[in-house]
Structure 1
Amino acid sequence: MPSTSNRGVPHSPGAGGLPLRRGDTGEAVRDLQERLALIGYGTGSDHQEFGAATEASLRQFQSDRGLVVDGICGPQSWNALVEADHRLGDRLLYYRAPMMRGDDVAELQRRLGQLGFDAYWVDGILGPRTQTAVRQFQQNVGLPDDGVVGRSTVEALERLTRRTTAEVTISEVREHERLRHQPSRVEGRRVVIGDTGELPVIAQAVARRLRHVGAEVLSFSTPDLGHQARTSNQWDGDIYLGVTLAVDNFGFSYFGTRGFESVGGRALAQRCSEMLAPVLAVPTPATAMRLPILRETRMPAVWCRLGPGSTVVPQTPRIAQGLAQAVIDWCLDPRLH
Structure 2
Amino acid sequence: MIEAGQRLGDRFLYLRTPHLRGDDVAEVQRMLSTLGFSVGRIDGIWGPLTATALADFQTNMSLGGDGVCGGRTLQTLQQLVRPLGDASVVAHITERQRLESAGGQLIGRRIAVGEAGGLEPVTASVRREIGRDGAEVLTVHHPDWSTQAAQVNRFGAAVYIGFEVKSTAPSVSYFQGRHFVSRAGQKLAADIADRLEPMFGPIATNGMGLPMLRESAMPAVLCRFERIDALLERNREVADIVAQSTRDLLADQPAA
**TM-score, length basis structure 1:** 0.71
Equivalent in 194, 217, 220 of residue 137 of structure 2: 217
Aligned to 1:96: 16
Equivalent pair of 2:38/2:50 in contact (CA under 8 Å): yes
Aligned to 1:325: 244
Is 2:42 the partner of 1:122? yes
Is 2:123 the partner of 1:203? yes
Number of residues paired by the alignment?
255
Letter in 2 for 1:90: D
Relative to 1, partners in 2 of residues 1:87 and 1:228: Cα closer, same or farther, differing over 3 Å? same
Is 2:215 the partner of 1:296? yes
Equivalent in 66, 69, 74 of residue 146 of structure 1: 66
Equivalent in 79, 104, 109 of residue 29 of structure 2: 109
Percent sequence identity over aligned pairs:
38
Equivalent pair of 1:169/1:260 in contact (CA under 8 Å): no
Aligned to 2:106: 186
Measure, in 2, the Cα distance between the counterparts of 1:313 and 1:257.
Answer: 32
Counterpart secondary structure, 2:46: coil
Cα deviation for residue 301 of structure 1 reads: 0.8
Equivalent pair of 1:106/1:124 in contact (CA under 8 Å): yes
Is 2:137 the partner of 1:252? no
Cα deviation for residue 266 of structure 1 reads: 1.6
Query: Structure 2 matches for 1:254-273, cutoff 5 A?
Result: 254-273=174-193
Equivalent pair of 1:186/1:332 in contact (CA under 8 Å): no
Equivalent in 231, 235, 239 of residue 312 of structure 1: 231
Is 2:205 the partner of 1:286? yes
Is 2:87 the partner of 1:167? yes
Measure, in 2, the Cα distance between the counterparts of 1:336 and 1:247.
Answer: 40
Counterpart secondary structure, 1:158: helix
Counterpart secondary structure, 2:57: helix
Measure, in 2, the Cα distance between the counterparts of 1:200 and 1:336.
Answer: 37
Q: Which moved more, 1:164-173 or 1:196-205?
A: 164-173
Using CA pairs below 8 Å that are at least 6 residues apart, which structure has the higher relative contact order?
2
- When Rg is computed on C-alpha atoms for both structures, the one with the higher figure is 1
Equivalent pair of 1:210/1:328 in contact (CA under 8 Å): no
Cα deviation for residue 151 of structure 1 reads: 0.9
Query: Structure 2 matches for 1:49-64, cutoff 5 A?
Result: none
Counterpart secondary structure, 1:105: helix
Letter in 2 for 1:293: M
Letter in 2 for 1:254: Y
Letter in 2 for 1:208: R
Measure, in 1, the Cα distance between the counterparts of 2:24 and 2:223.
Answer: 29
Relative to 1, partners in 2 of residues 1:335 and 1:325: Cα closer, same or farther, differing over 3 Å? farther
1:234-253 residue CA offsets vs partner (Å, 9 max, x unmatched): 11111111101111152111
Cα deviation for residue 231 of structure 1 reads: 1.0
Counterpart secondary structure, 2:3: helix
Letter in 2 for 1:303: L
Aligned to 2:55: 135
Measure, in 2, the Cα distance between the counterparts of 1:255 and 1:276.
Answer: 20
Letter in 2 for 1:102: G
Letter in 2 for 1:306: F
Equivalent pair of 1:167/1:259 in contact (CA under 8 Å): no
Cα deviation for residue 295 of structure 1 reads: 0.9
Measure, in 1, the Cα distance between the counterparts of 2:46 and 2:108.
Answer: 32
Measure, in 1, the Cα distance between the counterparts of 2:255 and 2:152.
Answer: 23
Gaps of 5+ in 2: none
Cα deviation for residue 160 of structure 1 reads: 1.7
Measure, in 1, the Cα distance between the counterparts of 2:69 and 2:101.
Answer: 35
Gaps of 5+ in 1: 1-80
Equivalent pair of 2:125/2:235 in contact (CA under 8 Å): no
